[in-house]
């Protein structure tokens, strides 16, 4: 995450692989004293922040033609295993418009993957060549027309829109303009490329301005004084120094205008560059590459989980209801019914007390309250038994004086027992109120916060602080292990950062905490990927589909905030594309609530989900993956799913925004308390 832009882990690996290639280019050029310069977005990143522009996906360098010719003669002998030069030895296999050095295959040799940051796709550093422009504008215009003709023919042949036989007829017109001849003994495409590059060099050594001609054909303003590339200085880029044109200000202004102003490159049609290889990668690795999440209706299913606190409170609530019913029955003088209900009530109270002692140990206040409750039930039982005995013996002849006196005494005693029993019964209500207070203090709501990385702790820290202040809530902070993924999708070494969290926060060991026994009231997770992250993974036990089996409230709070994303704005095209990595993933659907940074981002989340379900995105890739649901099937559930997701995704804010009005820490704490204490 940089400059409000989410950078996928795979993009970071692409950068790492490209840097490894750049190091080799730099080494070779230094060895043979060959001038080159980092250029375009790479140069902009070096000047502006000494790093990649967050939304850039490649490395570009530029050479003047004479430097490139010298480089072409030596590079093949210098490159390490795994790297190739696209133009071949001496630059004679130039079957492309632009040159490049990189990994062009996808064979997944372990040593190559390890050397190049476990990046499974082709990784290439583009080499752009500057050629002289003709001083005469008419001559340059004529060259441009020929190059454009060649570009069209090359494109048509590569895309299968034109056969060689048809193209041969068009070549005659080109042959009339050029001192060249196309032969039928060689395939046409290599000849066209060769002629194209020959024409690019036609005025070298004569001009005062240079340009990357294949690009300048369609961007006439992209030209620079040749003198700009005759002086060199160095700038830091990703912690290393690389050569840049001495007058790089002229170059950057020509490419970007006011280059100090941050402007996100819009559109996602070619971003990231490696997405065009995704279908091929899936075909090669098959079941080993499973990182395309497929929504299923069962992901929204919510199993009911009853934890110890809830069961305890259910017991208490049943006691309260039964006590109220006993008072009503007693007022109707149905003393036998009251008496017969007391043993069962006492038995369940004893059962609850035993369960609490087993879980919390002896001597708890709640068990003491239950003991008092059971004693009161016993006293009430004794009183009612005596009452019934007096009532049953109250028979005789009422007209005899001695019997009248005796009956009067019995009635008085019976009346006293009734009053005592009534007071004892009403006293149960107060005992149950005390029991509730004790239970809420001793058997608290338990909230478990899961975080794999100490650097992401800031996104939940204020929330933890607020909940720790409550007497009725027990907060547990649980760092969890995570693994890197290798380039073939398999897991590698485990990482655990428990020691890196602030020392003032007690750590709960994930190895000793029994989720099945504890069944916390709420689990808060920082991650939503589950298995569907191709770069790393938390321990599979902590995937969201597993976690929701242990709690009734699974809450996802992203560890990051981005700039606001407008799905309709071209400038946000890449940012909206990257939402596929953290929105259309299992955790969002499994979570009972997702708390995002703003109402605007909530709408962006829902739009991303809508397009995902509708099948508007990546249809070509979906067609190549038999495990994906069909577009028609997705449409059947789209409306229903969106209605549920609208309730589950809350645009309350983020703790990372501090006290920002309307979407900061205060709002997150408020919505979290509502989830915990009001949304029962």
Task: Encode pLDDT of 593-637 as tens digits.
Answer: 999 999 999 999 999 999 998 874 444 344 444 444 445 454 446
Q: How far is CA 576 from CA 30, 293, 580, 605, 638, in A?
A: 41, 17, 8, 9, 20
Out of 105-114, 133-142, 220-229, pick the least confident: 105-114
Residue 159 has pLDDT above 90, yes or no: no
Residue 408 has pLDDT above 60, yes or no: no
- Distinct helix (H) and strand (E) counts, the chain: 23, 18
Contact 91, 24 (CB under 8 A): no
Residue 27 has pLDDT above 80, yes or no: yes
Please tell me which residue, 410 or 667, carries the higher pLDDT value.
Answer: 667
Please tell me which residue, 145 or 389, carries the higher pLDDT value.
Answer: 145
Token code pair at residue 666 = 């205060």
Q: Rounded to whole angstroms, how far apart are CA atoms 360 and 671?
A: 31
Give the CA radius of gyration of the chain. Answer: 38
Mean pLDDT, rounded, for 213-231? 92
Determine the 3-state secondary structure of 422 from DSSP: helix
Residue 398 has pLDDT above 70, yes or no: no
Contact 421, 428 (CB under 8 A): no
pLDDT > 90 in the chain, percent: 66
Mean pLDDT, rounded, for 388-417? 58
Q: How confident is the model at residue 166 (pLDDT cuts 50, 70, 90)?
A: low
Mean pLDDT, rounded, for 234-248? 96
Q: For the chain, which residues make up each domain, given as ranges?
A: 9-135+203-260, 308-442, 444-678
Contact 14, 119 (CB under 8 A): yes
Contact 576, 612 (CB under 8 A): no
Helices 665-673 + 461-468 axis angle, to 10: 50
Q: 44-95, pLDDT tens digit by residue? A: 999 999 999 999 999 999 999 999 999 999 999 999 988 999 988 765 676 7
Please tell me which residue, 100 or 617, carries the higher pLDDT value.
Answer: 100
Residue-level pLDDT at 589: 96
CATH number of 444-678: 3.40.50
Q: How many CB atoms lie within 10 A of CB 628?
A: 19
Q: Rounded to whole angstroms, how far apart are CA atoms 428 and 319?
A: 10
Q: Rounded to whole angstroms, how far apart are CA atoms 133 and 437?
A: 87
Please tell me which residue, 308 or 678, carries the higher pLDDT value.
Answer: 308
C-alpha count within 13 angstroms, C-beta hemisphere, residue 203: 23
Read off the pTM.
Answer: 0.85
Beta-bridge partners for 62:
37, 128
Residue-level pLDDT at 467: 96
pLDDT > 70 in the chain, percent: 90
630, 631, 637, 544: which is closest to 592 by C-alpha? 544
Strand 232-237 and strand 224-225: pairing? unpaired
**Mean of the per-residue pLDDT values for the chain?**
88
Q: How confident is the model at residue 412 (pLDDT cuts 50, 70, 90)?
A: low
Q: How confident is the model at residue 244 (pLDDT cuts 50, 70, 90)?
A: very high
Q: 531-584, pLDDT tens digit by residue? A: 999 999 999 999 999 999 999 999 999 999 999 999 999 999 999 999 999 999
Token code pair at residue 226 = 């040749």
3-state secondary structure 170-192: HHHHHHHHCCCCCCCCCCHHHHH
The backbone torsions φ and ψ at residue 261, rounded to the nearest 5 degrees and listed phi first, read -80, 125
Q: How confident is the model at residue 394 (pLDDT cuts 50, 70, 90)?
A: low
Q: How far is CA 330 from CA 114, 335, 422, in A?
A: 80, 6, 8
| DSSP state, residue 33 | T
Residue 405 has pLDDT above 50, yes or no: no
Q: 329-342, pLDDT tens digit by residue? A: 988 989 899 999 99
C-alpha count within 13 angstroms, C-beta hemisphere, residue 228: 24
479, 485, 472: which is closest to 439 by C-alpha? 472
Token code pair at residue 555 = 């809450």
Q: Rounded to whole angstroms, how far apart are CA atoms 215 and 193?
A: 15
């Amino acid at each position: 995450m940089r400059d409000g832009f989410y950078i996928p882990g795979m993009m970071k690996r692409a950068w790492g692989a490209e840097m490894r290639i750049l190091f080799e280019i730099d080494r070779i050029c230094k060895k043979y004293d060959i001038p080159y310069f980092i250029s375009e977005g790479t140069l902009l990143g070096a000047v502006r922040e000494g790093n990649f522009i967050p939304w850039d996906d490649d490395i570009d360098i530029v050479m003047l033609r004479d430097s490139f010719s010298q480089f072409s003669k030596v590079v093949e002998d210098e490159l390490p295993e795994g790297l190739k030069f696209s133009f071949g030895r001496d630059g004679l296999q130039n079957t492309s418009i632009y040159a490049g050095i990189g990994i062009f295959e996808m064979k997944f040799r372990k040593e190559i993957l390890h050397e190049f940051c476990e990046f499974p796709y082709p990784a290439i550093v583009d080499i752009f060549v500057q050629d002289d422009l003709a001083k005469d504008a008419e001559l340059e215009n004529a060259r441009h027309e020929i190059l454009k003709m060649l570009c069209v023919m090359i494109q048509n042949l590569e895309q299968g829109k034109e056969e060689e036989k048809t193209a041969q007829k068009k070549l005659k017109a080109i042959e009339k303009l050029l001192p060249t001849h196309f032969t039928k003994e060689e395939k046409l495409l290599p000849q066209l490329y060769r002629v194209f590059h020959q024409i690019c060099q036609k005025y070298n050594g004569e001009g005062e301005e240079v340009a990357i001609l294949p690009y300048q054909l369609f961007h006439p303003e992209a030209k620079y004084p040749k003198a700009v590339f005759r002086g060199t200085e160095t700038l830091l880029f990703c912690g290393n120094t690389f050569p840049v044109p001495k007058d790089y200000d002229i170059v950057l202004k020509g490419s970007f205008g006011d280059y100090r102003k941050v402007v996100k490159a819009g559109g996602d049609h070619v971003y990231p560059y490696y997405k065009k290889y995704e279908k091929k990668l899936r075909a090669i690795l098959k079941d080993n590459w499973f990182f395309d999440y497929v929504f299923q209706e069962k992901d929204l299913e919510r199993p009911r989980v009853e934890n110890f606190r809830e069961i305890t409170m259910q017991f208490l609530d049943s006691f309260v209801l039964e006590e109220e019913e006993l008072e009503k029955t007693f007022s109707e003088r149905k003393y036998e019914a009251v008496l017969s209900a007391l043993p069962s009530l006492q038995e369940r109270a004893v059962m609850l007390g035993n369960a609490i002692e087993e879980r919390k140990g002896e001597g708890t206040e709640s068990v003491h309250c239950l003991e008092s409750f059971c004693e009161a039930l016993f006293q009430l039982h004794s009183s009612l038994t005596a009452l019934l005995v007096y009532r049953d013996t109250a028979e005789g002849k009422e007209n005899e004086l001695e019997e009248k006196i005796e009956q009067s005494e019995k009635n008085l005693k019976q009346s006293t027992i009734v009053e005592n029993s009534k007071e004892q019964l009403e006293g149960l209500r107060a005992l149950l109120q005390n029991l509730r207070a004790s239970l809420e203090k001793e058997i608290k709501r338990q909230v478990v916060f899961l975080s794999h990385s100490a650097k992401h702790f800031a996104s939940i820290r204020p929330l933890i602080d607020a909940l720790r202040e409550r007497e009725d809530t027990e907060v547990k902070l649980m760092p969890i292990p995570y693994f890197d993924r290798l380039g073939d999708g398999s897991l590698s070494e485990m990482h655990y950062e428990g020691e890196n969290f602030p020392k003032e926060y007690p750590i709960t060991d994930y190895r000793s905490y029994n989720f099945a026994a504890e069944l916390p009231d709420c689990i808060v997770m920082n991650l939503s990927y589950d298995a569907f992250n191709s770069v790393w993974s938390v321990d599979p036990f902590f995937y969201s589909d597993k976690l929701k089996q242990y709690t009734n409230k699974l809450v996802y709070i992203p560890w990051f905030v981005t700039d606001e994303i407008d799905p309709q704005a071209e400038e946000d095209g890449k940012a909206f594309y990257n939402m596929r990595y953290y929105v259309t993933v299992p955790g969002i659907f499994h979570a009972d609530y997702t708390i995002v940074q703003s109402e605007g981002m909530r709408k962006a989340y829902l739009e991303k989900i809508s397009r995902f379900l509708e099948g508007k995105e990546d249809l070509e890739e979906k067609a190549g993956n038999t495990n994906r649901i069909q577009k028609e099937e997705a449409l059947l559930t789209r409306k229903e799913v969106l209605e549920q997701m609208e309730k589950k995704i809350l645009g309350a804010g983020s703790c990372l925004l501090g006290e920002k009005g309307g979407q900061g820490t205060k709002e997150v704490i408020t919505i979290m308390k509502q989830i915990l204490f009001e949304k029962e």
